[in-house]
Amino acid sequence: MAAHSDGNEEAITGINVTPLVDITLVLLIIFMVTASYIVKASIDVDLPRAASGGEAIATLTFNLDRAGVLYLDGQPATRDAARGAVRAALTASREARALIGADRGVAYGEVVSLIDLVKQEGLTRFAIQIAKDIAENGR
């Protein structure tokens, strides 16, 4: 059976965008709802500022808060747990890197002690975390 055509066919001159708008709004609502679940809990650390700083990719992230509590990847940890994590990271990859951050109120000796802990376990690639500051000379 062939389709019947009576010659009154008109070209479609408009596109109905209502379904597109509906889908877009539904996706927007889904992203807004799930965005609150994606946000990670943070540790309140007042980082020192420096004008010269770059991006660092880290395998492990160490933080010392104002009270001197050590955090490993956002979770409170002991020095022994930190040593074990460094060993495990180096076992998984010889290219392991650490990012070390500390509140500006933490004693200098505590930060040096943490750097020493990481280096004693054989991890020599690490960066010090800072808050990026605008250079005073306008650069």
Q: Where are the domains of the chain?
A: 49-132
Q: Which H/E stretch holds residue 28?
A: helix 18-38
Closest CA to 128 of 107, 114, 109: 114
Report the pLDDT value the prediction gives residue 3, as an integer from 0 to 100.
55
Taking the whole predicted model, whether its pTM rises above 0.85 is answered as no
Q: What percentage of residues in the chain have a pLDDT greater than 90?
A: 19
Low-confidence ranges of the chain (pLDDT < 50): 1, 137-139
Please name the residues in contact with 124: beta carbons below 8 A apart, sequence gap of 6 or more.
none
Secondary structure string (H, E, C) spanning 82-101 = HHHHHHHHHHHCCCCCEEEE
Per-residue pLDDT tens over the stretch 48-62: 666 666 666 667 889
Report the pLDDT value the prediction gives residue 51, as an integer from 0 to 100.
64
Closest CA to 44 of 135, 110, 118, 131: 131
CATH code of the domain occupying 49-132: 3.30.420.270
Closest CA to 82 of 128, 43, 122, 117: 117
